[in-house]
Structure 1
Amino acid sequence: MKNQSIFIITRYSVITGGVQIGVGRSADEVKRILFSKERLDCRFALFSKIMAPSLISQKPCNANLHFVILTSDELPVEHREKLDAQLVEIEKKSSFKCTVIPMPAGSSLSKYINSFLDENLVGKINHAYATVRMDDDDGIASSYCARLCGYLERGIVGFPISFAYGFEGMFDEATEKFSNIRHWYKPKIALGLAFTNKYSNGKYLYPDKNIYSLGNHTRIDIKHPVIIDALAPAFIRTVSLHNDSGAFRYHDSLPKAQQGDIDFNEFPFLKCDLPAEVREDGSFIVAKAASSDAAQYKAEVKLLRAKIKN
């Protein structure tokens, strides 16, 4: 048995206070939106076409792999059955052990995650592990788990690890293809954010058992020093009609991905046509370093110029 574990944790139509669609709405209205057939069909399509294949594509690593889904205990039966069938497929084609944890509305994520960890780590000695945040419509590079496992093998525990560089693209459900893919460098992004810890004889080395215990990902460095790893693209973030994390106002101000920018061995599930344009600045490094903050300023300047012109 391997002495490291990686737990990728995903919220799938779970009712919590942190979901963007819940802001300013009643509980009944949130449920109506969250469980609408249109939205659930879209979420499952994204999950099955992007996230699930990205898990299946993971390269071998020296860690026990777990995929944990937190979902509402009110998720319609039809969609729960589709979800369960997809998880069976993931287990057949990968090294992941999959678990679904139903949660009542308003429940504490960390409470359920910590109970799951307690049950799965019991009896282990000096066992390094990592918990990882992932949305159900995003994907990770095939080397993600191997890169994260490298930190565990070197005994680097007690740190959040932010894989800060990846891509953001628009997904068309009809064609199942991405378009308008952009480079995105965003330290402390929630997507793929991990926290490493160690368990031994019923005790955790650090009191924060899981990544969600650290609170808001944008302020995670206030609680722990953060390791920023932007050595290679680690994720693809999806822009679609049913994103739960809010608007993507600055997407078009991020640097465009062009032919040769994406290693499709790392993203074998990513179907897209990339432009063969010459990048304005001529530098891949500059494109990689462009942050969402810079994109925000660029978008705001563009808006101001349009107002002045009119």
Structure 2
Amino acid sequence: MNKVSVIQTKFSLFNKNLNPEIWQAGRNGLDNALKTLLDEERLRDRCDIFFNYQLPLIDIAVAKGFKIIHQCLHFDDLPIWVMDLIEEASIKYEWFRPRAFSFDDDLNLYGLIKEDIIDICETSEEQDVLCCAGIRLDDDDLINIDYFEKLERYLVESFAGFCVSFPKGYAGVYRGSEFTEFYDFYESKIALGLAQVFVYDVINKKFLNDYLMPPGAHGTVDNRVPTIIDATNEPVYLRTFHENNDFMLNRSNEQRRNYLESVLKTRVQNIDSFYRK
């Protein structure tokens, strides 16, 4: 059986179909959201993590033979220097597929996955069925080759319709363009790397499962689909903590400090094995 993983990353995406409460609040809410999205410091942090850490790690997995598509969904009016980085990445990595959207564009996440899966089958010699995973990954988080090795065992027809969560990873504190501290991190059903397994019938050109991405809120995904929690073996992700994390933006300094103290407990001296090739 052939297998493929489709990663969806919303890279500074500004669209009416996302967080509608922002634009429904009126022009001020819309303008403030866009201003935050395009903040220079925020973009530089995310570009560094995304282009210099996330993509090279995925490329290691591709080089080892894992079939991966990385869909990068981004706002079509980002600064020129950011658009240039996206274009350069699309040339460097064959598996990297950026797509630009305006605020008013219709955004069909399932449609994008279907488009690329069908394209794979039409341009290669895929036979019978294709077992796939739709994977959530933010633009400032990382997954490594261990992630894809663990996911591989679940990309079989018997797990089609299941969601897969790998709760064991690392947390990395990112300051001044570098990671300065690392910690053990554990979160069941974490959004980072949450994967939905589904099957595409190549012969009949039909998707056999209802969900192509983990449905609904990650914390309650097990209420919607059967969910596998696999915390065996090595950590498979790195969650970054930095000043421009989206979840930090509307919290006071005290709230930020209290949260970080509650989750960053066991410090790790180095995570060299995380970057293994």
Structure-2-length-normalised TM-score: 0.81
Name the CA shift for 1:81/1:148 in 2 (closer, same or farther; >3 Å): same
Q: Which residue of 2 aligns with 1:101?
A: 99
How many Å apart are 1:268 and its aligned residue? 4.9
Instruction: Give the Cα–Cα distance (whole angstroms) in 2 for the partners of residues 222 and 76 of structure 1.
Output: 40
Q: Does residue 241 of the first structure (1) align with residue 243 of the second (2)?
A: yes
One-letter amino acid matched to 1:258: V
How many Å apart are 1:59 and its aligned residue? 7.1
Q: Which residue of 2 aligns with 1:209?
A: 212
1:116-141 Cα offsets, whole Å, 9 max, x none, are 34543555531101111001111113
How many Å apart are 1:111 and its aligned residue? 4.7
Matches within 5 A, 1:267-306: 267-268=275-276
Poorly superposed stretches of 4+, deviation over 6 Å:
none
How many Å apart are 1:61 and its aligned residue? 5.6
Name the CA shift for 1:53/1:64 in 2 (closer, same or farther; >3 Å): closer
Instruction: Give the Cα–Cα distance (whole angstroms) in 2 for the partners of residues 188 and 152 of structure 1.
Output: 18
One-letter amino acid matched to 2:112: I
Q: Does residue 253 of the first structure (1) align with residue 251 of the second (2)?
A: no
Q: Does residue 265 of the first structure (1) align with residue 267 of the second (2)?
A: no
Name the CA shift for 1:20/1:229 in 2 (closer, same or farther; >3 Å): farther
Instruction: Give the Cα–Cα distance (whole angstroms) in 2 for the partners of residues 182 and 20 of structure 1.
Output: 34
Q: Which residue of 2 aligns with 1:120?
A: 119
Instruction: Give the Cα–Cα distance (whole angstroms) in 1 for the partners of residues 132 and 99 of structure 2.
Output: 20
Partners of 1:166 and 1:184 within 8 A in 2 = yes
1:15-44 Cα offsets, whole Å, 9 max, x none, are 146569959662222122212322222211
Name the CA shift for 1:13/1:69 in 2 (closer, same or farther; >3 Å): same
How many Å apart are 1:102 and its aligned residue? 1.2
3-state SS in 2 of match to 1:178: strand
Matches within 5 A, 1:169-188: 169-174=172-177, 176-179=178-181, 181-188=182-189
Number of aligned residue pairs = 257
Matches within 5 A, 1:111-150: 111-117=110-116, 119-123=118-122, 124=126, 125-150=128-153
Q: Does residue 194 of the first structure (1) align with residue 195 of the second (2)?
A: yes
One-letter amino acid matched to 1:264: D
Instruction: Give the Cα–Cα distance (whole angstroms) in 1 for the partners of residues 90 and 245 of structure 2.
Output: 22
Partners of 2:136 and 2:213 within 8 A in 1 = no
How many Å apart are 1:47 and its aligned residue? 1.1
Q: Which residue of 2 aligns with 1:4?
A: 3
Q: Which residue of 2 aligns with 1:277?
A: none
Q: Which residue of 2 aligns with 1:280?
A: none
1:266-297 Cα offsets, whole Å, 9 max, x none, are 2359xxxxxxxxxxxxxxxxxxxxxxxxxxxx
How many Å apart are 1:186 and its aligned residue? 0.7
Q: Which residue of 1 aligns with 2:73?
A: 70
Q: Which residue of 1 aligns with 2:56?
A: 53
Q: Does residue 26 of the first structure (1) align with residue 36 of the second (2)?
A: no
Instruction: Give the Cα–Cα distance (whole angstroms) in 2 for the partners of residues 220 and 256 of structure 1.
Output: 28
How many Å apart are 1:189 and its aligned residue? 0.6
Partners of 1:59 and 1:146 within 8 A in 2 = no
Structure of larger gyration radius: 1
What is the aligned-residue identity percentage? 24
3-state SS in 2 of match to 1:83: helix
How many Å apart are 1:55 and its aligned residue? 1.4
Instruction: Give the Cα–Cα distance (whole angstroms) in 2 for the partners of residues 85 and 158 of structure 1.
Output: 36
RMSD: 2.8
